[in-house]
Amino acid sequence: MADAAPVVLAAPPTESTNGAAASGNQDYQNSPPGSIVSQGTEAENQGKLKTLLGILRRFIGVADIASVRFSLPSQLLEPIPNLEYWNYLDRPETFTSIGDSDDELGRFLGVLRFWFTKDLKFIKGRPCKPYNSTLGEFFRCTWDVTEALPAPPHDSRPASIRSSTNSSTKSVHSPPIRVSFLTEQTSHHPPVSAFYIDCPAKGISANGYDQISAKFTGTSIRVTPGVHNLGIFISLHNRDGESYRLTHPAAHLGGLLRGALAIYVEDICFVTCEKTKMRCILQYLGDGWLGRAKHRVEGVIYRYEGTEEDHYERIKDVPSKKILAKIDGSWMTQIYYTLTGSSEKHLLIDLDPLQIVPKTCPPPEVQLPNESRRMWEAVTKAIHEKDYGKATTLKQEIEERQRQKAAARQENGEEWVPRFFKDMHQRVGRPELSDEGKKALEGLNKGDLKLQEWAER
């Protein structure tokens, strides 16, 4: 859950987006675009936190600091564009495997497996702040997935008599399965971006809006979904249009006073499939003041009958006769599920050995001026070289150009129109691709990465 909130931090992976390991000694010239590297010593990073805290104190009592647009000093930024950083495909093989099971409960468990890997960046990295996105900025990339995950076992019979088709052995896609990702900043006030994920080979797509609301309490930042952010919508086109809605929980960024940032989740979220009438309640449990944080999560998958009364808000309210499976574990390590009628725990996903899978972006020579990497290239280079004065100047130049364009549109009575997505008010919560968006996505799927320059409208 994210968008270009000025002061909400997020945790980048310890591995760069192109696969190169992040290192404090890594030289920018040896770091391909999109790399995330350490920008200083522990003392320097704590100094950054103190500076950030001083800025945040100005916003105590502000209802939504995500809607307040102001410019942070470049030394507080991570040298990576916001749109590049935010995607839900840290482990794309969990996405491509969602629809593989012929059993509807197996597919639902596949959706949950994807859910718990989509923000691996929070688990494997340290908090940071990417660049704010500009109106009309866009980012695109692909993953070629070779690993095929087995469908989660959905049979409650003992393992000794379970069919051999419930194998836990991984297989390999040959040729690889391509997943394409396209996102565009579709609003500046409030900051909102639309995204679309496509995997034609497996008949799976996902879309949604990323927008957050954030409030600084004085000791932490509370982040919640914005009004346009209704969750992630996944469609299984080869399963008679089966679709899922996954809502985002609220999160807290704490540790500002201690100088050791950490992300905590204490909220309830839901995964719903209207076609199969299945719903999951996931409750992220808070940790006490004493002892080590456990990052616990528990949940139930249950069958509902389509009435409002069946849409329970709390786990304890769900009648036991409706429950199909129970979920428990730590969203930072291992997640398990137990099927109704059995006491056997199944491992849904083990996050410990997983790292962020590198993405593939178009080469620099075919990127457009408003494409994220090209737009921020000079700023990124200056930050890597620790020339923060130059980086701040370059960043301010980008921001000033955006203000001038906005002023010109207002003077001429023109309304800005997204290139790749239709107006977000036409389809609440679920963005729809424009003709240009369909062409761009098809180009990603086929490897045709050239796009024509686009005159802003």
- Closest listed residue to residue 363, CA positions, set 449, 441, 280: 449
- Is 69 within 8 Å of 190 (Cβ atoms)? no
What's the rounded Cα separation, in Å, for the pair 184 and 182?
Answer: 7
Q: Tell me the DSSP string of 8-75.
A: --BPPPSB-TTSPBP-TT--GGGS-TT-----S-HHHHHHHHHHHHHHHGGGTT-S-GGG---PPPGG
| For residues 252-279, average pLDDT | 85
Does the pLDDT at position 428 exceed 80? no
What mean pLDDT comes out for the span 237-264? 85
Residue 44: phi and psi, rounded to 5, are -65, -40
Q: Which of 74-88, 143-157, 225-239, 345-359 has the lowest average pLDDT?
A: 143-157
**pLDDT for 441:** 97
Q: What's the rounded Cα separation, in Å, for the pair 223 and 384?
A: 29
Please give the pLDDT value at position 52: 64
**pLDDT class of 37 with cuts at 50, 70, 90:** very low
Question: Would you say 246 and 277 are in contact if contact means Cβ atoms under 8 Å apart?
Answer: no
Question: Which pLDDT value is given to residue 157?
Answer: 41
- If pLDDT is split at 50, 70 and 90, which confidence band does 35 have? very low
Q: Provide the 8-state DSSP code for 131.
A: B
Q: For the chain, what is the mean pLDDT?
A: 82
Nearest to 429 by CA among 279, 251, 211: 211
Q: Indicate the pTM of the whole model.
A: 0.86
Query: Is a pLDDT exceeding 70 seen at residue 69?
Result: no
- Does the pLDDT value for residue 119 go beyond 60? yes
Determine how many CB atoms are found less than 10 A away from the CB of residue 358.
Answer: 17
Query: So what's the pLDDT on residue 245?
Result: 96
Nearest-angstrom CA–CA distance, 381 and 360: 20
